[in-house]
Amino acid sequence: MQQKIVITGGPGTGKTMIVEELVSRNHKCMVEISREITLRARENGTEQLFLTEPLLFSQLLLEGRIGQHTEADKYNDDHVFFDRGIPDVHSYMNFFKTDFPDIYIESSNKYRYTHIFLLPPWEAIYTPDNERYETYEESLEIYQHLKDGYTNCGYKVVEVPYGTVNERTNFILNAL
């Protein structure tokens, strides 16, 4: 049976670097889609869609992540890694104190993952960029919302220790 593995964490924790390392090791990975949604909105004249229309942004994320989950079923790979999962959506909405319909929790409970790896905030590697507008201090709060969001959905959350990209990737692979 295929294992669906989420790598999550607040902004600037090294998720993308680990996913890129997994890809370089020939693992199937579903990439983060929030940057794509943000860039598409920017091209259409909305600078920060999440800040101006948080429910629309979150709906697009939810649809995209459900699509990724469904797409993964088509692969013959034993392991499929996800740069963030469905519960990330309502965890972020909780962080921003945005009310949301029940479909977000229902979707998190319907489309399940096998393993959840959470990367803690790490100030030494945190760097803001054009799509990352959260401060390091906010990433500390987001971390807790993510941990609570996945735990409340019944997941055992495994925290990935600090280390090189190689060490963190090996930690994840060895924990499977």
At which residue do the structure tokens 């090294």 appear? 14
Q: Are 3 and 78 spatial neighbours (Cβ–Cβ below 8 Å)?
A: yes
List the chain domain ranges.
3-175
For residue 129, the model assigns a pLDDT of 63
pLDDT of residue 65 exceeding 80, the answer is yes
For residue 130, the model assigns a pLDDT of 57
Strand, coil or helix: 134? coil
- More confident of the two residues 39 and 157: 157
Quick one: 30 exposed, middle or buried, by C-beta within 10 A (0-12, 13-18, 19+)? Answer: buried
Give the Cβ contact number of residue 36 at 10 Å: 13
Q: Give CA–CA dist 93/90, Å, rounded.
A: 5
Element (H, E) at 80: strand 79-83
Q: Give CA–CA dist 55/173, Å, rounded.
A: 35
pLDDT of residue 154 exceeding 80, the answer is yes
Mean pLDDT of 18-24: 97
Class of domain 3-175: alpha beta
